[in-house]
A and B are shown apart, each in its own frame.
Chain A
Amino acid sequence: MQPAISVKNLRKRFGDNEVLRGIDMAAQDGEVITLIGASGSGKSTLLRSIPFLEIPDSGSITVGDDHLAPTGGHLSRREEVVARRMRGHLGFVFQGFNLWPHRTVLENVIEAPIHVQKRPRAECIEEAVALLDKVGLSEKRDAWPAHLSGGQQQRVAIARALAQRPRAILFDEPTSALDPELVGEVLKVIRALAEDGRTMVIVTHEMGFAREVSSRTIFLNQGIIEEEGTPDQVFGNPVSDRCRAFVSGHFDRNR
């Protein structure tokens, strides 16, 4: 079986700073992969490269049957078409939620299904209502994003990602912008998605959560994969010294 997402020899540089130095990674259907590492390790850039929010300098990305290997850090018109199709198969949840403030909660969720995927409106609404129910926000369907708490906005953003019927969902530090008391409600939703067998790639600083929810954990350091394995191995018995230091530092701080 071909993986949902496959990344090969990905490189990206910002000016003099080489952020990704040859990354190989694949996510099989049903896998939950957590990406951990210090800030500046390249984990967010890697995640953002998968839907081409950052355009890699070299290397290739495959999502389902679509494949792109852009060069020179930009997409041609033809590549842009393929990239759009690949984005359609991926849900993306941002650190800062990025809901559309001029649309209600329900309108945010049905936007892509109706205006990108061109599915029938009635069907999209029905599905959106069910998704809002799943994230515990069905009573907020007609609210404006600005009237919701951060945790509620992030749950709407998750419903919006699910509404695309994506093959995989990417999370970019989904709880880092939240007040501590709101982190739990968002993690609970992501945990439920993991139990449903959703394919997910999650960049996170919540080490306890990562250890509990992942099927595989990848530790990035200075743009390369330094350690990779089951969460028990990466968190409990890391091979690399840097990974050991990073992990123990985090658990000590949270204690």
Chain B
Amino acid sequence: MWADLDLLGFGPDGWGQVLLHAAVMSLLVSLAAFAFGIVLGTLVAWARTGRSRLLRSLAGLYTAVMRGVPDILVIYLFYFGGRQLVTAVGTALGFAGPFDISGFLAGMLAIGLISAAYQAEVLRGAYQAVPSGTIEAGRVVGMTRFTLFRRVIVPQAMVTAIPGLGNQWQSVVKESALVSVTGMVEIMRQVTVAAGSTQEHFLFYAAGAVLYLIITTISGQVFRIIEHRGLRGQLAGER
């Protein structure tokens, strides 16, 4: 009893079109969350390696909280908690409800915040792996702290960080499935709807798995290419 594969096609009975659209949404929310995560993660890593004791402990606390709380709880907190907050503020200002907030925005913020904690650890490790002699060589030619950061530290740290950031991206793509709880239509949500509607559970969940695999495999290759280009010249004996 094989399912009708036309269900995955682009014909009148096919779910192909909506699945493709859902995959694009998954990709977009992942990209937005990852980008937000890397910006925040850089700030957290900077705070953790900085001189201020207060910033160091705040950043450490942030990392500990984000790594110690279930991801889905953070999403609920942002989506339902956010909606409650918006409703309270809106009502207080005299607007009529119902109030809603974007599942995309809440999901992106929540996943980005979680990812930032992990990315900060990757970036901190990469920063600390930059040979101190190369930093000293930059200082001694009279570089400002910013020039030193831009011309000496970042190019070396990124090479070390890329494999770790690639893993983080992989996690973000998979965690984007959790955003389905907000009702945002991405891969997870769409295959659940399709499976329920057609009663072809196996077919649609398998199709969802394939879509995620396509995204993670292709992006994994992209990270490998970037890593290889960044490494040029840094390994003795390589041509």
Contact = CB atoms under 8 A, between A and B. Distances in A.
Contacts of A192: none
A111 B234 contact: no
A103 B236 CA distance: 14
A204 interface: no
A53 interface: yes
Among B133, B159, B233, the most chain A Cβ lie within 10 Å of the Cβ of B233
A85 B142 contact: yes
B141 A146 contact: no
Contacts of B142: 84-85, 87-88, 112, 116-117, 164
A53 B139 contact: yes
Interface string A9-39: 0000000000000000000000000000000
B127 to A, nearest CB: 14
Contact of B234 (A90, A117, A144): A144
Contacts of A101: 131, 134, 156, 233-234
B156 A111 contact: no
Given A94-B136, A98-B133, A84 B144 contact: yes
Given A100-B152, A115-B151, A94 B133 contact: yes
Contacts of A85: 142
Contacts of A102: 155-156, 159, 233-234
Given A84-B144, A111-B151, A146 B139 contact: no
B93 interface: no
Contacts, number: 73
A147 interface: yes
B73 interface: no
A159 interface: no
B137 A99 contact: yes
B234 A96 contact: no
A79 to B, nearest CB: 14
A104 interface: yes
Contacts of A96: 133
A115 B146 CA distance: 11
A51 interface: yes
A90 to B, nearest CB: 8
Interface string B123-149: 000000001011011111111100100
A171 interface: no
A92 interface: yes
Contacts of B133: 94, 96-98
A51 B143 CA distance: 12
B96 interface: no
B140 A53 contact: yes
B69 interface: no
Contacts of A92: 137, 140-141
Given A99-B137, A112-B142, A164-B141, A104 B233 contact: yes
B218 interface: no
Nearest to B138: A100
B95 to A, nearest CB: 48
Interface of A: 51, 53, 84-85, 87-88, 90, 92, 94, 96-102, 104, 111-112, 115-117, 144-147, 160, 164
Interface of B: 131, 133-134, 136-144, 147, 151-152, 155-156, 159, 232-237
